[in-house]
A and B are shown apart, each in its own frame.
Chain A
Amino acid sequence: MSTIEIIPDEDKLFCRVHKNLINTEGDILPRAFDPTPYPPEIPDGLSVNWSKYSSAQETQVQVKANNKNPQDYAVVSFTAGAVRGIGSVGVTHDPKEDNLAHSLITGIPPRKSSDTRIIRELQKQAQQSWEINI
């Protein structure tokens, strides 16, 4: 089992965005940052890749493992410290056997009192930090 590390504030977090979550004017839909509900035994969170162990390109290509087309995915980045600065949001290293970079932005489950603010802030930060545009 991989060691869980502390992600420094200055490090980047890469996040895939499906092409249908970007409109024709290049706006990322806020919906892109609503986390997919996980089974109850797994904490909710938005999956990202830590820059220490992954690049934007690797983040894009990873979808091949799920039989998806990498060209359908853009990649944006967050800075860990900026995400933590949103407040009541965590950034946690969550390494997987096949992906040491896997991390979670936690604290944004649906229907939490402040989740609209968090989604708005994530959308704002992501819109300013394209790594791979499609």
Chain B
Amino acid sequence: MEKTLSKRNYPLVTEDDSYGIVSNFPDQETSGFIVPIKRQGAIYLYHLERNNWLYLAPNGNTLYNSLSSFEIVGFPEEQQFKKKAIRKRSHFDNSFLQSAIEKATYIYKPPYDKDNWDEAGSKGYTKETLDKSIHFLHQYAKWVFEHLKQNILPPKIFPGRDGGIDFLWKNGNVNLLMRVDKDVSKISYSAQDKSFCISEGNDIPLFSTENTINYNIFSKIIPPIE
């Protein structure tokens, strides 16, 4: 099977791709699920648990990296690869976010509902902003599930900048700060995984002119999954 995926800053693996697991690999840390790909003559493996790429250099050295485009070359027949189904959930379930959302309701209550709640001039927060932010979070969680078949981890939800909301993940594989503005019309994000892959963007419009979410943003964010 050969398949070309669209160009992305941070490539994602879809359900349609071939998955495998490396066994007897020299680097013991790579005992996770992977998908083999070929790009410019080299072999890359996508490590689903680490959310990054493993580059197999001709001299046997390895290097984790992120790529902008790649080709899947199918499941290798070599002995070191052993076919195995990817661990995945059967359905989307966002109830795991509920606890984090319930904890966040303080954001539109005193003292955070009034300006200058930090004695430094910060703006107050509204229930409307939090509700719209939570809706956005659900949309993001759904998108990640549709593309990775994994639920995102629950974020910490904080009062953000200028009346906006911050989502912070410091669990799983990634340290991700996602900030939405007061109108939940723009997003800024910065993510770094344990292999020091970074993705970031600032003040990116969340909606297209047709008032639909610009899902292209989501594909560029290192996902907060286990």
Contact = CB atoms under 8 A, between A and B. Distances in A.
B166 A117 contact: no
Interface in B157-185: 158-162, 166, 168, 170, 175-177, 179
Given A20-B111, A111-B202, A27 B158 contact: yes
Contact of B175 (A24, A29, A120): A120
Contacts of B170: 124
A111 B170 CA distance: 23
Given A29-B158, A31-B158, A116-B189, A18 B175 contact: no
B85 interface: no
B117 A20 contact: yes
A64 interface: no
Interface in A101-127: 110-117, 119-120, 123-124
Interface in B55-86: none
B75 to A, nearest CB: 37
Given A116-B202, A117-B198, A30 B166 contact: yes
A36 B116 CA distance: 12
A21 to B, nearest CB: 6
Q: Which interface class (under 10, 10 to 19, 20 to 34, 35 or more) fits A?
A: 20 to 34
B118 A116 contact: no
B166 A31 contact: yes
B108 interface: no
Given A20-B112, A29-B166, A68-B119, A114 B202 contact: yes
B118 A21 contact: yes
A36 B121 CA distance: 8
A127 to B, nearest CB: 8
A21 B190 CA distance: 20
Interface in B168-226: 168, 170, 175-177, 179, 188-190, 192, 198, 200-203
Contacts of B159: 29, 31
A117 B119 contact: no
Interface in A70-124: 72, 110-117, 119-120, 123-124
Contacts of B168: 27, 30, 120, 123
B177 A123 contact: yes
Contacts of A29: 158-160, 166
B161 A117 contact: no
B120 interface: yes
A111 B203 CA distance: 7
A95 B190 CA distance: 32
Contacts of B111: 20
B142 interface: no
30 contacts: A18-B119, A20-B111, A20-B119, A23-B106, A23-B156, A25-B156, A27-B168, A29-B159, A29-B160, A30-B158, A30-B168, A30-B179, A31-B122, A31-B159, A31-B160, A31-B161, A31-B166, A72-B119, A111-B203, A115-B188, A116-B179, A116-B189, A116-B200, A117-B190, A117-B192, A117-B198, A119-B190, A120-B168, A123-B177, A124-B170
